[in-house]
Structure 1
Amino acid sequence: MRLAGVEPSRLIYNCLLDGLVNAGLLDTAVNVFDAMSTEDQVRPDVVSYNILIKGYCRAGRAQDAMARLSDMQEQAKLTPDKVTYLTLMQCHYSEGTYPVCIGLFQEMEERGMGKDIPQHAYVLVIGALCKDGKPFEGMAVFERMLKRGCAANAAIYTALIDSMGKFGREKEAMVLFERMKDSGIKLDSVTYGVIVNCLCRFGKFDEAVACFRNCEEKGIAVNAIFYTSLLDGFGKAGMVDQAQELFEEMIAKGFVPDSYCYNVLIDGLAKSGRMDDACALCKRMEDDGCDQTVYTYTILIDGLFKKHKNEEALKFWDAMIDKGITPTAAAFRTLANGLCLSGKFSQACRILDELAPMGVIPETAHEDMINVLCKAGRFKQACKLADGIVKKGREIPGRVRTMMINALRKAGNTDLAVKLVHSKIGIGYERSGSIKRRVKFQTLFQ
Structure 2
Amino acid sequence: MKLIELAKELKITAEAIKQFIQDFDLDLIECISTQFEVKEDFEKFARENVDFLKQYEKDLDQNKTVDQIAKTINQPKEKIEKAIEENQSNIFDNGFFRSSVSSYGIDNKLGGNYQFVYNYFGNKTKLQQRDFIGYRDLFFYVSGVLEPFLNPQQIKDWGINKPVGIVLYGPPGSGKIFWATKIAEIINYQFKEVKKHFLGTSIVDGNTTNFNDFLLNMMKGEKILLFLEDFDEIMMARNAETNVATCNLESQEVILHYISKFESEDVLMVGSANTVANIDEEILAPGRFDVVIPVFPPNAAERSEIILYAMTKNLDKDSLLFKILKNNKADKIPFWSDIASKMKVFSNTMLIDFTQSLKKRIKNQYHKTKDEKLRIDETLLNGALRDAGAKLTEEYLNQIAQFLSDVIINNLDDFQMRIKALKTELESYKAVEIPRREIGFQHNGDREVE
Higher share of residues assigned helix: 1
Q: Which structure is higher in strand share? A: 2
TM-score by shorter chain over 0.5? no
TM-score under structure 1 length normalisation = 0.24
How does the TM-score come out when normalised to structure 2?
A: 0.23
Between 1 and 2, higher relative CO (CA 8 Å, sep ≥ 6) is seen in 2
